[in-house]
Structure 1
């Protein structure tokens, strides 16, 4: 069974084989030759069309000349020939339309064939990639990634733990302190309590500060500002 493009159906399902490539090349060559032949036929029809148009112009001139000579029959004969040429021109126009339609259809088929071939190659490439990345391998990869992330989290948590060199000796230290307290009670030694002695600070002056001899204007202003601040604090 053959498809629209002259390629066997089985060949379309396996575009990677050499026979398929030969079939595709032959199909494209045949289609290109068909389009070329159609174009030549259209060109031939256009030449015939121009010839008939020129002939019709000559018949009109001929009919006028015969009428000028009172040859009515001859003039009518020329006009009838002109009508025949007009009918032939209509046929040529229809033929050209048919040929142009065939050319357009063939070009569309070639374009569609290229699209189908590209899609087929893309499908085969996707299938090959899918074989290399099947669902089981993906699931295994995800599990491995989860395990590595959990291990990394455990390592981070371990590194974040505080390091206390005496954390394992707390019980021993408390036992040692208890023994010392028991020994002190047995000897009747007074318990020494830590206390802090009060530190005496000098009192702030309550009177006006003495004037500085030979003080500059800026120093005098600073002294006045200081006296005003002391007065506010004492009030």
Structure 2
């Protein structure tokens, strides 16, 4: 029986009271017996949390009571067991490290595309203007090896901080196309899309909610394999069922690995 609700969520929003918020979230998550990781930084919040449905929904209600997070959207999946071993709330410089301080998503997002529209474009082989689509996987190489969209561009980066350099080396692959950047939950492809627009690429979109939201809304159409997640489940199939083989123990113990998006 799938009794544990897993949520992944993030929001780029200025946070000036990180230390105070950290203590409040620690208290709240422990009271609800939740486990996972929450990252707080001046640029926003990034979280992966799991527990009973009632506890998780109560946590989300409390978080959304803060005006900064009122519109926070969570990707949801279920598991038979708790995929995290502890609850961590950490302060960071960035909620997803890019080492490119000029990129500030809270100042304005890149345009996005929803899962249903992307599926329709992939079905027809072009966007609504007839342009070719370049699907750009912004995840690390070992994640891509577990699964990705058919024909997606993979620059074999080892960590997200390598993305700016990879973009400048390979931007000709994207010229003249409608670029759709994607990642696990949306956070990396959001920063990537902003950088690409700042680098002069005109038609760049981010997949809203990433692969997990795509699975949730349209299933596995045009996707091959599974999606690596940074917790004890290891990978999720397009039906959002876990496919863990126990090889993710390191991810389940390392909070900086667990919180990719």
Category of TM-score, reference length = shorter chain: under 0.3
Higher helix share: 1
**TM-score (norm. length: structure 1):** 0.14
Higher strand share: 2
**Structure with bigger RCO (C-alpha 8 Å, 6+ apart):** 2
**TM-score (norm. length: structure 2):** 0.13
